[in-house]
Amino acid sequence: MLDAAIERMLFGLSDEHVILEPISGQLLHPEALVAFERLRQDARAAGFEPRVVSGFRDFERQRTIWNGKAGGQRPLLDSGGEPLDAAALSPRDRVYAILRWSALPGASRHHWGTDFDVIDAAAVPEDYRPQLTPREVEDCGVFGPFHCWLDQRIAAGESHGLFRPYAEDRGGIAPERWHLSYAPRSRELDDLLTADGLRRLWEHNELELCDTVCANLDDIYRRFIRVPPECYPDTG
């Protein structure tokens, strides 16, 4: 059993482990914030302005997203980002469709504050509303040049511990080029997150489609929750 304080942090039930990033108003783990500020300095020298658009999210926020998609109040998207008809899908298909783009409450890396979504504010007008869609971040997309620059930094080991946990499709979560993670801390937390821990969490914090999720949890855990150790950079 995990220490209660660590478990609350792991599942997004506490916000004592995050602090304010003043430009975005988002909350980040202090070490992730330092890494982001260093990356931002480097990026500015290259003409980019990285901005956090989504940092820490707590359990309740993720549960609202999950339940909204499960219940059809929020749009459900296919792998290409096109809308799906939730009512036409079986519970199992609905669960897997949600998981393609949204994490289970308690299993979001955004709970940790080590992970955040980023745009290049220099590439768009101040009132631009980021969509966080594949089109924005592909090489010829509006944020493509920033992400190509960032790929080079990551490959060179010069990204201050930041990496892309969803760089490629491993048969689960769609690639999310906008999602960055501070590896030295997130790797530790990833190791603590287990399927049994999540089952216990949901016994006390109900979510929609829970029976279907629990019946498929081993497969979901492997494909959608766990980022394999070999995907983490060598952080020495």
Q: Rule CB under 5 A: which residues touch Zn ion?
A: 117, 179
Nearer to Zn ion, 48 or 116 (CB): 116
Q: Which residues of 78-116 are buried (b: 16+ CB within 10 A; e: fewer)?
A: eeeeeebebeebeeeebbbbbbbbbbbbbbbbbbbbbbb
Nearer to Zn ion, 185 or 212 (CB): 185
Nearer to Zn ion, 102 or 212 (CB): 102
Is the distance from CB of 125 to CB of 119 less than 8 angstroms?
Answer: no
Residues 6+ apart with CB under 8 A from 42: 153, 158
Nearer to Zn ion, 160 or 177 (CB): 177
Could you tell me the smallest distance in angstroms from the CB atom of residue 84 to Zn ion?
A: 20
CA angle centred on 234, ends 229 and 236, rounded to 5°: 120
Query: For residue 101, how many C-alpha atoms fall within 13 Å in the half-sphere facing its CB?
Result: 22
Nearer to Zn ion, 190 or 212 (CB): 190
**What is the distance between the alpha carbons of residues 232 and 220, in angstroms, rounded to a whole number?**
20
Could you tell me the smallest distance in angstroms from the CB atom of residue 154 to Zn ion?
A: 16
**What is the distance between the alpha carbons of residues 139 and 152, in angstroms, rounded to a whole number?**
13
> In degrees rounded to 5, what are phi and psi of residue 106?
100, -20
Nearer to Zn ion, 186 or 212 (CB): 186
Paired with 120 in beta bridges are: 50
Paired with 27 in beta bridges are: 20
Could you tell me the smallest distance in angstroms from the CB atom of residue 117 to Zn ion?
A: 4
Could you tell me the smallest distance in angstroms from the CB atom of residue 88 to Zn ion?
A: 27
**What is the distance between the alpha carbons of residues 37 and 2, in angstroms, rounded to a whole number?**
31
CB atoms within 10 A of CB 220: 22
Nearer to Zn ion, 182 or 212 (CB): 182
Could you tell me the smallest distance in angstroms from the CB atom of residue 89 to Zn ion?
A: 24
Could you tell me the smallest distance in angstroms from the CB atom of residue 215 to Zn ion?
A: 26
Could you tell me the smallest distance in angstroms from the CB atom of residue 178 to Zn ion?
A: 7
